[in-house]
Structure 1
Amino acid sequence: MTGLPPRRADELLRAAVGHLRLADVPDPRIDAELLLAHVLGVNRGRAQALALLGSSLSQPVADRYRALVLRRGLREPLQHLTGVAHFRRIELLVGPGVFVPRPETEVLVEHALRGLPEGGTAVDLGTGSGAIALSIAHERPDATVIALERSPEAFAWAERNRQHVGAANARVLAGDLAVAADLLPELLAGVDVVVSNPPYVPDGMVPRDPEVQRFDPAAALYGGPDGLDPMRAVVATAERLLRPGGLLAVEHGELQGEGTRALLADGWTEAATHPDLTGRDRVTTARRAG
Structure 2
Amino acid sequence: MKGSSGGGSGAGGPLNWSQAPSRLRGESPQEPLDRFRFRRLVREAGRRLEEAGVSSPEHDARLLAEHVVGTPLVMCEGADGGQVAHYLSLIEQRAARVPLQHLTGVMWFRGLELECRPGVFIVRPETEVVAGAAIEAARHMSADGVAAPLVVDLCTGSGAIALAVAAEVPRSRVVAVEVADDAVDLARDNCERHAPGRVRLVQADAAAPTTLAELDGQVDVVVSNPPYVPDGALEDAETADHDPHRALFGGGGDGLALPTALVRRAVALLRPAGVLVMEHDAGQGAALRAAALGAGFTEAVTGQDLAGRDRYLRAVTERASRA
Residue of structure 2 aligned with 1:285, choices 291, 311, 314: 314
CA contact (8 A) 1:201 1:223 kept: yes
Which residues in structure 2 correspond to 1:166-245 (within 5 Å)?
Answer: 166-179=195-208, 181-205=209-233, 207-224=234-251, 225-245=253-273
Q: Which has the higher contact order (CA 8 A, sep 6+)?
A: 1
Q: How far does the alpha carbon of each residue in 1:4-23 deviate from its partner, in whole angstroms, 9 at most, with x for none?
A: 20232112101100100001
User: Counterpart of 2:78 in 1: which secondary structure?
Assistant: coil
Q: What residue identity is the alignment partner of 2:185?
A: A
How do residues 110-125 of structure 1 correspond to structure 2 at under 5 angstroms?
110-116=132-138, 117-118=141-142, 119-125=148-154
Counting matched residue pairs gives: 281
Gaps of 5+ in 1: none
Normalised by the length of structure 2, the TM-score is: 0.84
| 2:166 aligned residue | 137
Distance 2:270 2:18 in 1: 59
Q: Is the 8 A contact 2:205 2:211 kept in 1?
A: no
Percent same amino acid at aligned positions? 43
CA displacement 1:150-186 (0-9 Å, x = unmatched): 001111111111012134221111001112x523233
| Structure 2 alignment gaps of length 5 or more | 1-16, 26-32, 143-147
Aligned partners of 1:81, 1:18: CA distance in 2, in Å? 19
Q: Is the 8 A contact 1:124 1:148 kept in 2?
A: yes
Tell me which amino acid in the other structure corresponds to 2:85: D
State the Cα deviation string for residues 230-277 of structure 1 (Å, max 9, x = none): 111111110110001100000000111011111012311221101101
Give the structure with higher Rg (CA): 2
- Counterpart position of 2:274: 246
1:70-89 equivalence runs, <5 A: 70-89=92-111
Q: Which residue is equivalent to 2:6?
A: none
Aligned 8 A contact 1:138 1:167 in 2: no
Q: Give the deviation of 1:49 after TM superposition.
A: 4.2
Q: Which residue of 2 aligns with 1:40?
A: 69
RMSD: 1.2
Given that 1:137 and 1:167 are in contact with CA atoms closer than 8 Å, whether structure 2 keeps it comes out as no
SS of the equivalent of 2:210 reads helix
CA distance in 2, matches of 1:133, 1:111: 13
Q: Which runs of 4+ in 1 moved over 3 A?
A: none
- Distance across 2 between alignment mates of 1:208 and 1:35: 26
SS state at 1:247 partner: strand
Q: Secondary structure at the match of 1:85?
A: strand
3-state DSSP class of the match of 2:74?
A: helix
Tell me whether 1:3 sits opposite 2:19 in the alignment: yes
Q: How does the TM-score come out when normalised to structure 1?
A: 0.94
1:61 maps to amino acid? Q
